[in-house]
Amino acid sequence: MGSQLLPLLLASERYNRVIAIGRRPLPIMHPKLEQRIVDFDHLEDHRLQLIADDIFCCLGTTMRQAGSKDAFYRVDYLYVVKLAALTAANFAAQLLVVSAMGADARSRFYYNRVKGEMEEAVRQTPFRAIHFFRPSLLLGPRPEKRAGEQLGAFLLRVLRPVLVGRLRHYRAVPAHTVARAMLQAAEKEGHGPYVHLSNALAEEGLARP
């Protein structure tokens, strides 16, 4: 997601400076771009580097990549919530964060439950606007191959014509479409929390509060 979003932010007339934070340098140079290498386990040490108007958060991993529930929770909950708290304290106006379809703090599924708990915690931060983007399966190139996701993407493409009504929420969506929707949401400068579901992203529909 981040690799799809960053070029859009750099090309946008809305921003004259884009600060990218990560564990390692990005292979890109641009007059607007400032790169900050941070330790997410000690994100509070970088508080003064986290000053911006709009915060775009694409942090996320999988259980397989993380290796354990604790490691997954650290990335998908602790890092995201800490980033939200620190940037809100620095008077950022908007937070736009990638969550997941099915996010629910009361879900029986650990992945969905963590995403839901993250959303509930982030909702307590005093941004003017908070946008949660809940894609179903994300389509697009990845640095690593994920056999399960490749199979899922194929099946969702085949099933797309029958995913109608409420099932539209489960349609796969290209990562660049989600990235474009994130920028468009920021440009609207709304107020309050918004949830953008997968089908609305794919169809460029309106978010529901």
Residue 47, in any domain of the structure:
no
Residues facing 98 on adjacent strands: 133
Give the global pTM. 0.84
Mean pLDDT calculated for residue range 176-199: 92
Where do we find the tokens 């931060």? Answer: 125
Of residues 74 and 1, more confidently modeled: 74
Residue 7, in any domain of the structure:
no
The mean pLDDT of the chain is 85
Residue 69, in any domain of the structure:
yes
- Binning pLDDT at 50, 70 and 90, where does residue 168 land? low
The answer to whether residues 32 and 15 touch, using CB atoms and an 8 Å cutoff, is yes
Residue 28, in any domain of the structure:
no
196 φ, ψ (degrees, to nearest 5): -110, 110
The whole domain housing 104 covers 52-203
- Binning pLDDT at 50, 70 and 90, where does residue 32 land? very high
Mean pLDDT calculated for residue range 198-206: 63
Mean pLDDT calculated for residue range 7-15: 97
Of residues 172 and 113, more confidently modeled: 113
Residue 27, in any domain of the structure:
no
Residue 70, in any domain of the structure:
yes
User: DSSP string covering 40-85, please?
Assistant: GGGGGGGGGG---SEEEE-----HHHH-SHHHHHIIIIIIHHHHHH
- What's the CA gap between 91 and 68, in Å, rounded? 34
- Residue 162 corresponds to which amino acid? V
Q: Is 33 left (phi over 0), alpha (psi -120 to 50) or beta?
A: beta
CATH of the domain at 166: 3.40.50.720
C-alpha of 153 from chain center = 19
Domain count of the fold of the chain: 1
pLDDT digits (tens, 9 = 90+) for 69-82: 999 999 999 999 99
Residues facing 97 on adjacent strands: 57, 132
Residue 202 pLDDT: 64
Residue 194, in any domain of the structure:
yes
Task: State yes or no: pLDDT of 30 exceeds 90.
Answer: yes
Of residues 198 and 154, more confidently modeled: 198
Residue 17, in any domain of the structure:
no
Question: Residue ranges of the alpha helices (H) in the chain?
Answer: 2-11, 63-66, 69-73, 80-89, 110-122, 147-159, 175-188, 198-203
